[in-house]
Chains A and B, each alone.
Chain A
Amino acid sequence: GQQLNQSPQSMFIQEGEDVSMNCTSSSIFNTWLWYKQDPGEGPVLLIALYKAGELTSNGRLTAQFGITRKDSFLNISASIPSDVGIYFCAGTPRGAQKLVFGQGTRLTINP
């Protein structure tokens, strides 16, 4: 019930394309977070969402907290080579205090 299903697992795109990934759960989440992880590094926080329906941007990144509180998406516009990496969604389930993570989306960009 507190698992996060993240899709797609991997994406192969051309530089300049837009990217979209999402996370869903069968249970309600109070918080949604999106992270990016580069090889050998810790995850870096990209966007934090706290209210249902909230739409937040950070440069070329846009994320939304789903209205049902059971999903979130992350969009990246006009991808560039440094966008390569693994993107993770994370959230705090209602009634729990831990932060759970999705399985990750590996983004590869062809120049």
Chain B
Amino acid sequence: NAGVMQNPRHLVRRRGQEARLRCSPMKGHSHVYWYRQLPEEGLKFMVYLQKENIIDESGMPKERFSAEFPKEGPSILRIQQVVRGDSAAYFCASSPFEGTEAFFGQGTRLTVV
């Protein structure tokens, strides 16, 4: 049973471009969380999704950021018109049920140049 798969592991974008980060949850998991981590800091909650539904997006900036978890395929975190301040590690986690243990992927390290 493969773990949570995130790709790409590293992503470099120029200011103003779009970044698309993918997360395939563990098999049988229908709950996905996205977190952002700056160097030497903790994990900041961004958004919590179940299949086809956004449950809690209270940690996600209102502009330029969006997330989806379609019926088929991976969850996508999309950042439009990236700025230098978007540079960070973005982690995805999945769980089988709400409020239970969540398992993390290896993360995507976004660098905006």
Q: Roughly how many angstroms separate A31 CA and B102 CA in the complex, as a whole number?
A: 11
Chain A, residue nearest B9 (CB): A40
Contact B105 A42, beta carbon cutoff 8 Å: yes
Q: Roughly how many angstroms separate A99 CA and B46 CA in the complex, as a whole number?
A: 10
B14-22, B61-69, B75-83, B92-100 - the one binding chain A:
B92-100
Contact B99 A92, beta carbon cutoff 8 Å: yes
A11-19, A58-66, A71-79, A101-109 - the one binding chain B:
A101-109
Contact A42 B45, beta carbon cutoff 8 Å: no
A-side interface size class: 20 to 34
Contact A98 B33, beta carbon cutoff 8 Å: yes
Q: Roughly how many angstroms separate A44 CA and B56 CA in the complex, as a whole number?
A: 23
With a cutoff of 8 Å between Cβ atoms, the chain A residues found around residue B104 in the complex are 35, 42-45
Given contacts A42-B106, A99-B93, contact A48 B101 (CB under 8 A): yes
Given contacts A48-B100, A97-B98, contact A102 B48 (CB under 8 A): no
